[in-house]
Amino acid sequence: MKNGKPVVLVVEGSPMIRMGAADLVLSAGYEELEAGDAEEAYRILESRADIDLVFTDVQMPATRDGIKLSHNIRDCWPPVKLIVASGAAIIEESTLPGGSRFFSKPYDELSITEAVAHLLSSEHPHSPIA
């Protein structure tokens, strides 16, 4: 948490979609960080201890997809909450780390903000809700 606000890392390969997701996170009242691929996300996670939730796409450039990223995050940073999205595949939540949420693209913005608020609510009972 930074400045009293939960911190959400948006990991998305498409700059336009990443911008939209970042705007969604900001408008919901959270601190927002961005990464264009899994490797950049790892660098951010390793350099900051205040990330509360990662919102990642499944398909990304480079070597790791969002599913591998989410499992690695759960192994290395267990308290970090996870939301995974995809426009190309329907992923069963059972293939994701425990407690993760999956959304198909195009996703409903209200559903995403509600999921973020719900996932963060156990840690931050006064999280903003859009």
CA–CA dist 56, 35 (Å, integer): 9
44-67: per-residue pLDDT in tens? 999 999 999 999 998 877 667 888
Weakly modelled stretches of the chain, pLDDT under 50: 124-130
| Domain at 15, CATH number | 3.40.50.2300
| 90 φψ region: left (φ > 0), alpha (ψ -120 to 50), beta (else) | beta
Nearest C-alpha neighbor of 130 from the set 107, 108, 114, 106? 114
- What total number of domains does the chain contain? 1
CA–CA dist 11, 18 (Å, integer): 7
Average of per-residue pLDDT values in the chain: 86
Domain that holds residue 102: 7-121
Does 99 fall in a domain? yes
74-84: per-residue pLDDT in tens? 999 999 999 99
Mention every residue, 6+ apart, whose C-beta is less than 8 A from residue 49.
none
Does 84 fall in a domain? yes
